[in-house]
Structure formats: C-alpha cells, structure tokens
Structure 1
Amino acid sequence: VQIVYEDESWFSPLKVPRLRAFSRQGNPQRIPARRRFKKGDPRSLVVYGALRLSDRSVDVWRSDGYPNSTRTRAFLHHLLRGATRAGKRWLVVIWDNASFHVSKIQKKWMRRYNRWARKHGRTRIVPYQLPTASPWLNPIEPHWLHCKRAVYAVDHIPTIEEIRHAVDDYFDRWPSHVSGWAMS
C-alpha cells in the first residue's frame, strides 16, 4: 500500500498573492505594473503534488492552465505508474474536497479504472476525502505557502517561464522527486 497526501496549487503573473516587504520611511515600496500577454500565451501554471507518507518525499507534476478533472486524472495516472513500478497493489490518495476531486466524471473514471486494474493485476486507487475546510490535516499544504513565497517577489512580477524555474528550484531543495511535465 502506498499512501499519499495530494494537493494542487496554481501560479499566475495575473494573480500575485499577498506579499510583505519593508522599506525606508518616506520611500514606499513600488509595485510593478502587470505584464501584457500575447494571444495564446499561457496565463497560469498548475502544480500538483503528492507527499508520500512512507518517505516524506514529494512527487510533483505540472501543466499549463488551471486545475480541473482532466489534469487531476493525468496526475493520478502519473502516481499510479510510480506505485505500479514500486510493486504496490493499492494507492491511497488523501485529498480535499475540491470540485475536480469529487466530480461525477472523476468518480466514474476511478470506478472504471479500478475494475480494469483488478482484472489486469495493476495498482488500484482508493480516494479518501479530508473534511471540508481543513487544510491543516493535509501535510503538503505548507509546501504551497513556502513555494509561493519563493516564486513571487514584491518588486518583480514573474513570467510563466520564471515561475516554472522557481517552482523547480523550490522542490529541488527538498528531498523530493520532481518529475512529469505536461503541456496542455
């Protein structure tokens, strides 16, 4: 059995989180103007993470865009491949009640996948929903807070490419396994 705590976060130059900064009295901090985007440029990056309970490592998967059922399913496939390679029969995914986790499409896919996996001797998935509005129960949550602090700065609005590199740098500093890159 492999147990993981799953969560996701998204990053965008359009939506910078609240940041703190100090400046000299009478010389206030200046916030740069937002960037203009060309048509077709990615405007956000979604980062999925799974903290493995066994070794506390974080498996990370990224894609352009926002979290949704399709991207969540792609990340679950990524986790299932790793669990199958490790010889695990079950993958227990502990996650919050985001709409794309509890959607009918997701539940239907999991039922169908588990029937197929049982028939073919592959790793099966068991979702476990955390109570609503309880991020403190998911130990991967602090990673997103610290990662966003590492990505964003008061005096600079990063591009999507800079965000990708900063996210990679953040997770490279942790004992984690950064893998999987999807472009949508």
Structure 2
Amino acid sequence: MIAYASTQPGWATGFLDEVWWSRFARPRLHAWQSEKTPVRLVEQSWEKGDPDPKALACYGVLWQKGNPDRSQIWLRFVTGRPVSAISIQFLQECCERLAAQGKRNWLMIWDNASWHVSKTVRSWLREHNQQVKQAEKGVRILPFFLPTQSPWLNPIEPKWVHAKKAIVEPDSLLSAKQLAQRICAHFGCSYEPHLALVEKVS
C-alpha cells in the first residue's frame, strides 16, 4: 500500500511523528569534531530567570516522494506539548498544503501515541473525511497505525537522531528561537509560529 500510494497521482505518503528538542542535551562530539580539533563541552544547566522552556516539542511529517526518496520534511513547533487539539491543527495545515499541490489522498503513517488515537482525533478524522467526500474537494486522510513500541518502523525516527547531532551548540546555550531556527535550517524548511491551544473566551 505504501509503495502504491507514493507513486500514484493525487496521493501523498507521509510518516508523522513528534519529537522533543532539548536545549540542554549533551552534544555527541563526532557530530562536528574533527580528529585534530578538540571541542570543549560547556556545562549547561537551567538558570533561574531563563524565559525559554528546557525543550521544544515539534510535529514532523516525512514525505515519501518515491522509492527511496524520503528527503522532504514539514515541521511545526508546539507551545507546550503535543495533545489532540494541536494534532488536529497540524493535520489541517498539512491537508491545506497538500490540496494546494493537487493531492486528494494522504496515506498517513504514525504510531499509537495517546494524542493520535484519542476519541477527539478519531472523531475529527471521520468528520473530515466525510466533508471531503461530500464537498468533493480537499484531502482525505487514511491513517495507518504502526505497532506499539516500534519506532524502527517509522523512517522519520533516524532523521530526528541525525538532526540532534547536527544542531546542538557545544560552546553556548541556544535560546528556544535559535534552536528552532537551526532545526528548520537543517531540514530546509521555514520557521513558522508555534502551534498552540486556542484559549477559550469566557
């Protein structure tokens, strides 16, 4: 099914996942160190008054353009942590971007995180697909859930690992915005405002 969808006109195959980017993670030296240039590690710790969070949550979709072309990633950072309502925001944005590319179907591969399988998300997916069918426009989402605790089946996971090695700053502490911009530069995508829960007006 994945191989079929990735080669059909009007179809998109995307592997979705979330990741945390730590501002305090110790770098792995071989990510940037040459054999002749030693790198000094700076002890980094949370300081009182630091306005930024310790880590940034991020949604990502790795698109399979062909076999084995899996080079394009779409990212959106999150204020807070991934939850069902923000997952829906991200899915809506992806559908809008896919529709602009002429896609009609999205084979979406992701895991069984609680904010993926929640009643809220499942209801939204069902209603979204019904609206696409009735209106005969938009992008239908076909979710495909990976087995529990099997990150090796999602090809976006190694992308996260390599990116974390590449973007960490060994000599100073990056601000949250600097970290996000560096991550976007690594993946070749634009930095967008963070997704956030909509505050209810009382």
Please indicate the TM-score interval, normalised by the length of the shorter structure: 0.7 to 0.9
Q: Is the 1:34–1:157 Cα contact (8 Å) retained in structure 2? A: no
For 1:11-48, what per-residue CA distance to the aligned partner results, in whole angstroms no more than 9, with x for missing partners?
A: 233x52x54349xxxxxx65424243648745542222
Change (3 A) 1:40 1:32: closer
Q: CA 1:88 to 1:72, structure 2 compared with 1: closer, same or farther past 3 Å?
A: same
| % identical aligned pairs | 32
Unaligned runs of 5+ in 2: 1-10, 31-39, 197-202
Question: Which of 141, 159, 167 matches 1:151?
Answer: 167
CA–CA separation in structure 1 for the residues paired with 2:194 and 2:42: 32
Q: What residue number does 1:136 align with?
A: 152
Which of 4, 22, 29 is the matching residue for 1:12?
A: 22
- Corresponding letter in the other structure for 1:166: R
The residue that corresponds to 1:171 in the other structure is: 187
Local SS of the residue matching 1:132: coil
1:53 aligns to 2:64 (yes or no) = yes
What is the one-letter code of the residue matched to 1:181?
P
Displacement after TM superposition at 1:151 (Å): 2.6
**Alignment RMSD:** 2.7
- 3-state SS, counterpart of residue 170 of structure 1: helix
Which contiguous aligned blocks of 4+ residues in structure 1 show a shift greater than 6 angstroms?
none
Structure 2 distance, partners of 1:10, 1:68, is: 14
Q: How many residues align?
A: 175
1:181 Cα deviation from its structure 2 partner: 3.4
Mapped contact 1:4–1:91 kept (Cα < 8 A): yes
Whole-angstrom CA distance in 2 between matches of 1:153 and 1:87 = 39
